[in-house]
Amino acid sequence: MEIHHISAEHLSIGRVREILDRHITLALSDDAKRRIVRCREYLDRKMEHPERPIYGITTGFGSLCNISVGHDDLAQLQKNLMMSHACGTGERVPSEIVRLMLLLKVQSLSYGHSGVQLATVERLIDFFNADILPVVYQQGSLGASGDLAPLAHMSLPLIGLGEVEYEGRVRPAAEVLAEKGWAPIELQSKEGLALLNGTQFMSAYGVWAVMQAQRLSAWADRIGAMSLDAFDGRIEPFCDEVHLVRGHKGQLTTARAFRRLLEGSELLARPKQHVQDPYSFRCIPQVHGASKDTIDYVESVITTEINSTTDNPTIFPDEDMVVSAGNFHGQPIALAMDFLAIAVAELGNISERRIYKLISGQRGLPNFLVAKPGLNSGFMIPQYTAASIVSQSKGLCMPASVDSIPSSQGQEDHVSMGSNAATKLYRVVNNTERVLAIELFNAAQALEFRRPARSSERIERLFADYRRVVPFVDIDRVMYPLIDASVRFLRTEQVEE
């Protein structure tokens, strides 16, 4: 059994992917345990002789920060916080995002600046390892005082409240805890605040989106290369000389990827009648490349975030400091996720234009890629579907982070709306995957009309793999299962390096 030891060391997006894909077990390192225990013991000593009120520990929350709470009520204060803040609504958060939330919350608490009990962190690890996933809802966070509502839902099962999904069923958390022989956690001072403050809802979506964006960026190149060859496109716009004089890394990387993908193509080597290609083909390096550069930037922002302490107040035992500040504010990743949504949407936007060109009856391809025209409509409507999806993504790319609505009687007067940026981004990523799947559906169909000429070895290998799940369409048939099969192909097929 492979184990990942949570510690104060760097957690990369790549390592997160490995943990999820290989179902690696989590455990706290000895160093992380020492940090957590040391911070808790420091806070307990601090509570014995408090010199002044400490926000959220000996006071109420938000605009109630000036109301002191007696020592005997501190545990109930944290429980009340968790219950009152579990106000999520709307669709459930997907299970893969909830797993990420658990992992990232454990990582954030492991630095020893949050004041939680060791038992609390270890129970979160128990949930992750046993695949006991709290039921969390997508709507309710402003992305500023941390992801209060979704993290409250994530944390309720720790104290035996709320619901979890376990072994394929949604069940009361108390029932599953009893089944496991786990007693509910008795919260101590500050613990509810440590669990609810933080950006793990936003960050989980951000991590997931970066991983998917990297995958879809690679697919966009492979599919775009097949479309370029099927459209009888030119390779000259992909030469190094063009891209070296502009200097953007992603642009050069894309051009080189296309030359590698299309190396040895018979179609590419044929004499061309046309002098240049439409932008959706000729400007692929510039468009795909800009998205690559954006994905790299957002990965760096999200990586910093998941290696951070983001709850409040922040505790510094060495400096004898408990500071009420704003590390829970989601602005850094809200802006980045809005940017990523635009970059991923653009991969879909240019893909839909290539789809349109493939069915337009140009360069020897039949109208709508119909093998037997007249009676059959062929690939007319898949382009409609792609256009509809792309249009929806354009609407979703309105930045959430430009909005702010004051809350808590004006105490929390500027919020990031990063949670809305995150959930919109999730939809944009899935939309772009569907559009790329439709382009592959069209590109493979178009390539067949170029026979007996063949594309490159790499593209022909992709074509053969795809044809094992989606056939050539010679007469009209029900199309949506083929589109669905194309989507599943992109999700399950490994992207060739």
Distance in angstroms (rounded) separating the CA atoms of residues 401 and 417: 6
Tell how far CA 310 is from the center of its chain.
19
Contact yes or no for 111/309 (Cβ under 8 A): yes
Distance in angstroms (rounded) separating the CA atoms of residues 8 and 32: 7
Tell how far CA 494 is from the center of its chain.
19
The residue type at 212: Q
The strand pair at 137-139 and 89-92 is best described as: antiparallel
Distance in angstroms (rounded) separating the CA atoms of residues 428 and 395: 10
Task: Respond yes or no: is residue 426 known to be catalytic.
Answer: no
Residue with tokens 């959220």: 56
CA distances for 67 relative to 176, 194, 465, angstroms: 37, 19, 66
Kindly report each contact of residues 70-78 with a partner whose C-beta sits within 8 Å and lies 24 or more positions away, as own/partner: 71/47, 74/47, 74/188, 74/189, 75/186, 75/187, 75/188, 75/189, 77/189, 77/192, 78/187, 78/188, 78/189, 78/190, 78/191, 78/192, 78/193
Contact yes or no for 52/321 (Cβ under 8 A): no
CA angle 229, 235, 239 (to 5 degrees): 150
Distance in angstroms (rounded) separating the CA atoms of residues 114 and 351: 46
Write down the catalytic residue from 55, 205, 426, 466. Answer: 55
Distance in angstroms (rounded) separating the CA atoms of residues 153 and 136: 5
Q: In residues, how long is the chain?
A: 497
How many CB atoms lie under 10 A from the CB of residue 95?
A: 13
Tell how far CA 79 is from the center of its chain.
30
Dihedral of CA atoms 217, 391, 491, 297 in degrees, nearest 10, equals 30
Q: Is 314 exposed, middle or buried (0-12, 13-18, 19+ CB in 10 A)?
A: buried
Closest CA to 446 of 276, 262, 233, 277: 233
Active site residues: 55
